[in-house]
Structure formats: C-alpha cells, structure tokens
Copies of this chain bind each other. A is one copy, B any other.
C-alpha cells in the first residue's frame, strides 16, 4: 500500500475529491497547511508598512491506496489539481506497511 500525500491549492479540493471518487477511491484525509515554495508568499500592506507573508495557504490530502491504484490516483490528482500556474503543488508517495480500520479491525487493502 501507498500513502499518497498531495499538497494542492485550497480551491481545488473539491475537484480532487470528485476525481478520486470517480476512480473508486472513497476515503481521504485533508488538512489545512501553509506552503512555501516557488510561488512566493505575498506582501500585505497595512497603513503603509509591508508585512511579508512567506507561507501560502494550501490543502494537504492524504490518501492511503492499494499499490495498484497509486498510479491512477496520482494521475487523477494531477488532472484535477492542475491549473498550470506556479503553486499548483506536489504529490509525494510514501510506502505504507499496514492499514487497519478501527471499527472492524480489518487490515490491509480491506481497511481502506
């Protein structure tokens, strides 16, 4: 199993969620994060003073998937999250050794 970690633009969350459900992925966990990267933060000006905001709001999605689904999931995310602009985000894939569904105790791919 893999844990796919995608950092995307907040406004794409719903599209990504839909794209994933379309290919049969029914679970994911999202969180609000702050990203630092090529898409530079911005300056806010209050009363004539500049305030540097280094981090940009992003959403991180974590999706545990069976190995065979990983590729398609990545593709789906790319398609749904891409706007072609700097700051579209990243997808990272981590190996995952085990998964358990707390309610039933099922494990492995069945737990997802």
Residue numbers of A with Cβ under 8 A of B are 2-3, 5-8, 14, 17, 26-38, 54-55, 58, 60, 62, 64, 74, 77-78, 81-103, 105, 111-112
B98 touches A93 (CB 8 A): yes
Number of identical monomers bound together in the oligomeric complex: 3
- With A77-B102, A91-B102, A92-B3 in contact, is A31–B33 under 8 Å at CB? yes
B33 touches A30 (CB 8 A): yes
CA distance A86 to B62 in the complex (A): 19
Interface centre among A27, A28, A38, A94 (most CB of B within 10 A): A94
B93 touches A94 (CB 8 A): no
Interchain CB contact (< 8 A) of A90 among B37, B91, B99: B99
A34 touches B31 (CB 8 A): yes
